Homo-oligomer: A and B are copies of this chain.
Amino acid sequence: MIKMIYNTFFQRSLTSVRDLTRQDFELLFDVTDKLIQHNSNYNICSGKTLGCIFFEPSTRTRLSFESAMSYIGGNTLATSNILSSTQKGESLADTIKIISLYSDVLVLRHPLDGSSKFASEISTKPIINAGSGTEEHPTQTIQDLYTINKETKKIDGLKIAIVGDLKYGRTVYSLLYGLSSYDVTVYLISPEALRIRSDSIYDIKKKLQLTESTELNDYIHDLDVIYVTRIQKERFQDKEEYFKVRGSYVIDNSVIKKLKKNSIILHPLPRLDEIPNNIDTSKHAKYFKQAEYGKYTRAALLGLILTKNGFEHK
């Protein structure tokens, strides 16, 4: 059966999570559902090529894009090592331009804010931001929101804690912007030293019902979603401080016991020891599901960018 969709993604770049509306998320969720149900490839992107330009190390994001592209029938250029061009003195702009000529869509990870926007102005093909600067990781947010919606059957009305290093993780800021399209209550749980950078979310503070705290325990009994992030030792000048705070945010069995029946634990991964391995088999643990959904949400995004109505005819 053919379902008409208005594909707002077709041939457009996705540089910022701030450009995604609730309708965009819902379209992505719909297409992702179809891709998972179908459980075989759509092959709608046969002959299409994905170019990856990564200026920061990334295994899981790059592989999930590559795997997603393969799932819909396309190929990925082996562009992880782009040193050769830059060795010859080529400008970054020329490198991006050239790789865009050889690709149908590009994925960029870069340490600078705005790099993705800059690239989209140079590139002849759509750019997907796969992580830039300290605030943007829109495809992670799509994956996170898809997981929440899939595993709790809704997003509106949920009580969501984001726990750990809220200062440095781009995932956190991106997620908050994504959540601002929904009606949710958010608890920001972190050590003092790793509190959210308040300026970076000033324009969504009113849309989200935000509570900041250092104590996960005060809210744990009432949460629907616990989104855990890594606390990296390197962030602390005082290592004793690190060892002190680290323990308070470990999701071990004593924490699990306090959870509501249907609450879920998420983590963008990779994890260190903030979630011990023995939690993996808990019914609350959904972080590997979340990782797996990342393949299908990215396949949905790539397919929508590359084909006007490729998903309708299946």
Contact = CB atoms under 8 A, between A and B. Distances in A.
Contacts of A113: none
Contact of A59 (B84, B269, B270): B84
A109 to B, nearest CB: 11
Q: Could you say how many copies of this chain the assembly holds?
A: 3
Contact of A288 (B91, B101, B103): B101
A59 B82 contact: yes
Contact of A81 (B51, B80, B89): B80
Interface stretch (A40-48, A179-187, A220-228): A40-48
A47 B73 contact: yes
B40 A94 contact: no
Contact-size category for A: 35 or more
B40 A89 contact: no
User: A59, A77, A84: which has the most chain B beta carbons within 10 Å?
Assistant: A59
User: A48, A99, A102, A271: which has the most chain B beta carbons within 10 Å?
Assistant: A102
A239 interface: no
A231 B30 CA distance: 54
A157 interface: no
Interface in A109-139: 124
Interface of A: 40-43, 46-49, 51, 57-60, 62-64, 66-67, 70-85, 87-91, 93-95, 97-99, 101-103, 124, 230, 269-272, 277, 288, 291-292, 295
19 contacts: A41-B48, A49-B67, A51-B63, A57-B84, A59-B84, A59-B85, A63-B78, A63-B79, A66-B75, A67-B77, A78-B78, A89-B272, A90-B271, A94-B271, A95-B270, A101-B288, A101-B291, A101-B292, A124-B288
